[in-house]
Amino acid sequence: MSRLPEPTGSTGLPEQTHSAGSRTRSDQHESATSSDRGDQGDSPTLRPMSYRVARSTRSSRLFSAALGVLLITLISLPWWADNGPMRLIAEMAYFLALAQLWNLLAGYAGLVSVGQQAFVGLGGYTLFALTDWYGVHPLWALALAGLMAALVSVPVALAVFRLRGAYFAVGTWVVAEIFQLFVAQVPRLGGGSGYSLTPAIVRSIAADRGTRDQVLYWIALALAVAVTAAVYAVLRSRHGLALTAIRDSERASRSLGVDTWRTKLFIYVVTAGCTGVIGAFIFLLKLRISPASGFDVNDWTVVVIFMVVIGGIGTMEGPIVGMLLYFGLREWLADYGSWYLILLGAVAVVVMLRAQRGLWGWVESRFGLSLFPIRRQLVILPGTGQGESRE
């Protein structure tokens, strides 16, 4: 009887990055017999049954190997590529992180927020204030900005959780607008015109520009990987089970012991905290923040929703596909001015009409592919138990 660690938390990252061929793939229960239930008279066909619970698929194991190779390539990029691709990939990385977080929030917890820019801006401003006023090192300030966003999200949740559906969406947006108006009133934060990081703070990351770009690039990669791994770990854990249950039937999940309110609060706060870190990082890259740029609904929420919905909401793969599509279109159409936005809109319309579950949703239903398996498959070992239903 081999008992392997529970497939939660810690297994999320290794599974994804370098566990192809490793043995920590399933929980195995050899000869879990049902003969100890012999007192029941209704089912004479019962025989001892062996089974295991599988969490990964062949395609997911191949994918995690490919992902490992890709990741090593990306990590080594600064040594063989110049600044252009590095900057683009850093931007792709933080947008991927934002998209994964919004997908967790809206696609899994059903909290369709249009106000995540509140936490992007809050994170950004927290980093600027901490580094400038208190001389905190920018890398520490990243973590503290996340903590700040998570703390602030608790009272925000208490207010917006009273709202449902479309009202919730509008409510979150209003909160973000309030944050923006509030920040614009604070002269020490640059008021309405904005705020720049001083050269001394920028130099504290690394003395020369080349090293600094490298460090920031690696942080962007690390954030994208960490957020993706964290979302994956949450979805594979019992929280993920509860989230999917709540999404399918809130009432039935309560009658089965799921605390729907606390589960949603947990996801909201975690998402806000992570969004705060990403926000702080974005403005550490940009070196300048203003109320309009920090709390921009278009940049930090609308674009992210485009990625998630077009890629496939409610799947882990969707945000990746959507992010790649968005950046592909943007790079390709960069020279066509406003045609770029028109085409982006056209793509959104076509995808929504042709594949309502997004591009990955279509791939999933067409080919049954799953690169981030979160389901638990019950595998009956051959020759044990009953082979077929008694109906």
Partner 1 sequence: MASLLELDGVSKSYGALKVSDQLTLAVEEGVALGVIGPNGAGKSTMFNLITGDVRPDAGRVRFAGEDVTALPAQRRSRLGMGRSYQIPHPFANMTVFENLLVGAIFAGRRSERSSYEHCAQVLEWVGLLAVANRAAGSLTLLQRKRLELARALASSPRLLLLDEIGGGLTDHECQALVETIRSIHARGTTIVWIEHIVHALLSVAQRLVVMNYGQLIADGEPHAVMADPRVQEVYMGIAAA
Please give the residue ranges that form the binding site for partner 1 (CB under 8 A). 3, 6, 8, 27, 29, 32, 34, 37, 39-43, 46, 49, 51, 53, 238, 241-242, 244-245, 247-249, 251-260, 375-378, 380, 385-391
**CB neighbour list of residue 226: distance below 8 Å, 6 or more residues apart:** none
Question: Using an 8 Å Cβ cutoff, are 264 and 246 in contact?
Answer: yes
Question: Using an 8 Å Cβ cutoff, are 272 and 288 in contact?
Answer: no
Closest distance to partner 1 from the beta carbon of 23 (Å):
17
Closest distance to partner 1 from the beta carbon of 261 (Å):
9
The residue (of 177 and 250) whose beta carbon lies closer to partner 1 is 250
- The residue type of 164 is R
- State the sign of the Cα–Cα–Cα–Cα dihedral 121, 122, 123, 124: positive
The residue (of 256 and 342) whose beta carbon lies closer to partner 1 is 256
Closest distance to partner 1 from the beta carbon of 62 (Å):
21
The residue (of 335 and 388) whose beta carbon lies closer to partner 1 is 388
Closest distance to partner 1 from the beta carbon of 43 (Å):
7
The residue (of 353 and 378) whose beta carbon lies closer to partner 1 is 378
Query: H-helix or E-strand containing 184?
Result: helix 165-184
What Å distances lie between residue 134 and 52, 204, 216, CA to CA? 55, 14, 22
The residue (of 5 and 210) whose beta carbon lies closer to partner 1 is 5
The tokens of 94 are what? 């933080």
Token pair 């969004």 is at which residue?
Answer: 275
The residue (of 3 and 188) whose beta carbon lies closer to partner 1 is 3
Closest distance to partner 1 from the beta carbon of 255 (Å):
5
What Å distances lie between residue 295 and 42, 236, 271, 337, CA to CA? 63, 32, 16, 24
Closest distance to partner 1 from the beta carbon of 153 (Å):
23
